Amino acid sequence: MAKRELSKMPPINNFASRNEWEIACWEKILKSKNLLQLLITVHERHDLVIRAVTIDRLNSGKNYKQIEEELWLSPQTISGIKKSLREKTYKSYLERSKKERKKKIYSSSINTKSGFSRPIGIPRRTKYGTVYM
């Protein structure tokens, strides 16, 4: 039964881009419950259900604290799901960290002319390492 459903996937040559082909395949997968159960693990199903319920709770007007207590989610997870509602696509915290989060600057001694950071002061060797004074 699963082999027949997998053979119904459209050939990639019928589409102008891989993205269009992927969307068409996803629509076929969503129409077939058996194929979806075959492809998704228990953990992925759990994650999808939790995201869907979180969206439902946000749309019904519940606040973060109520959703946290009911579904045992962190504020970051709820915030990410809320952002996915606005942006119309879900991105995990890891994906967001690559582009959206700002890199931390640990020292204000950045030499902007040469493009790298260099400590300011005279180096002194101590038992804790080199300290610049």
Find the mean pLDDT for residues 19-38.
88
Find the mean pLDDT for residues 80-87.
87
Three-state DSSP at 15 gives: coil
Provide the pLDDT for residue 113.
55
Residue by residue, DSSP assigns 65-111 as HHHHHHH---HHHHHHHHHHHHHTS---HHHHHHHTSPPP---S-EE
Indicate whether 7 belongs to any domain: yes
Indicate whether 126 belongs to any domain: no
Please tell me the distance from the alpha carbon of residue 91 to that of residue 9, in angstroms, as a whole number: 26
Task: Give percent of the chain above pLDDT 90.
Answer: 34
Indicate whether 64 belongs to any domain: yes
Indicate whether 115 belongs to any domain: no
The strand pairing partners of 125, in sequence order, are 130
Give per-residue pLDDT as tens, 99-122. 766 666 665 555 555 556 677 888
Other residues' Cβ atoms within 10 Å of the Cβ of residue 87 = 9
Indicate whether 133 belongs to any domain: no
Number of domains comprising the chain? 1
Indicate whether 104 belongs to any domain: no
Q: Domain range holding 57?
A: 2-90
Provide the pLDDT for residue 34.
84
Indicate whether 102 belongs to any domain: no
Distances (CA, A) of 83 to 49, 50, 68, 93, 100: 17, 15, 16, 11, 12
Indicate whether 23 belongs to any domain: yes
